[in-house]
Structure 1
Amino acid sequence: MKVVHTIEELHAAVRDLKDITLVPTMGNLHDGHISLMRLAKQQGGPVVASVFVNRLQFGPNEDFDTYPRTFQADAEKLEKADVDIMFAPSEKDMYPVPQEYRVVPPDSLAGILEGYFRPGFFNGVATVVMKLFSAVRPVNVVFGKKDYQQLMIIRRMVEQFALPIKIIGAEIHRGENGLAMSSRNGYLSAEQLAEAPNLYKILKTAVNQVRAGNQDLDALEKQAMDALKARGWVPDYVSICR
């Protein structure tokens, strides 16, 4: 596996490659990320994985400074997954000058759900992803369905800018207890880790109700919110998207 750190090194590394599949990540890789790499390898061409903690998508009181940077462990996992190129820029490498031009998704997509509670988050995501698209020139890009709103925003961005890129949504990778794999699961205490799978169980109950024909989605959302609050959770929202 080739490891590159600057945009110039990346350009040189991909210059003669065709049919590249890109997997953008923020590092601190886990089995869920590795499942994305496996899906990328199935596309048949070379795989580029980016590892970059993007300041633009963090709010002023969020965890940019404390987000785990685990470069060596990430490199070992990517090499084991047979990734061809690891792009691991520093902030200075990625943004040598302040990023004045931004991609701003419409509020109809980015101002709801997670975007409502994290203003500017999806602007930062879309901007760094567009920069990665420009630098790597992939034909395929793999995103996990766990961040479904992000997946929809990137798909729409690709459509709106007529980019010759296929966006591939990868299924959510869960532990045996149903908890979705996430780099931030490491923030949870043992007690919180034991409680966390109840989120999936409560959401699954709502899903089963919808599949059984219950069309009172507002009531189902409220039931799920109430069930979480009864367990001591403080949820921002539960939304069954129409």
Structure 2
Amino acid sequence: MASPLSRIFVLTGAGISAESGLGTFRDRGGIWDRFDPLRLATPEAFAADPDTVLDFYNWRRRNALAAEPNPAHRALARAEARLAAAGGELFLCTQNVDDLHERGGARGVVHMHGELLRARCTQCAHTFACRDDIARTDPCPRCARIGLRPDIVWFGEMPMHLEAIDAALARADLFVAVGTSGSVYPAAGYVAQARRLGIRTCEVNLEPSDNAALFDERRYGPAGEIVPAFLAAHGLG
């Protein structure tokens, strides 16, 4: 029999991986403050200069592989397991493209912006696990044609798994956003969607996000400290 707080929807952003050494995107000094996203993270940029785009994502993939999960990733994995054992659910939706949630022990991670450790063929749409650098001349393992790209959602493309995300949010009794900027849609709209559904909302962040005023509860500080403490307060530590 599940507890009264049995279905938690957790949305994570770059802030949860910052303590693992991976840069955030929209903060001062973040990735998009140092690199132009229009030259590196759009279908048009890839068509115009695939080598530069692939080099950028090869660098990011190597950084992600060198990083290690931090206490926030591990705490969410423990909470996921405890809720599942009690008949409940922790639905873990991430905007991050690294695999730190999985390496931290999480089992059911939904990557709405894709994954660095997967590649996609632009010719046949086949996707596959890929931990190595991608070169413009690499053939697809299925169709053998040239044209591999990271399996990442670029600007101007539709996020992944939106139907599953909407369904999970509709059945939740708590919505928690961890380390998100509150400025990237559709993810930034989930707190308003949760409020319309009558779901309690909480922001866990280093500092207030762009949409912090929409949350019922707000807790600020390093993710590695605040996330485990927040979950422990709900009996999921």
Does TM, normalized by the shorter one, top 0.5? no
Q: Select the structure of larger CA radius of gyration.
A: 1
Name the structure with the higher strand share.
Answer: 2
TM-score normalised over the length of structure 1: 0.30
- Structure showing greater relative contact order (alpha-carbon pairs closer than 8 Å, 6 or more residues apart): 2
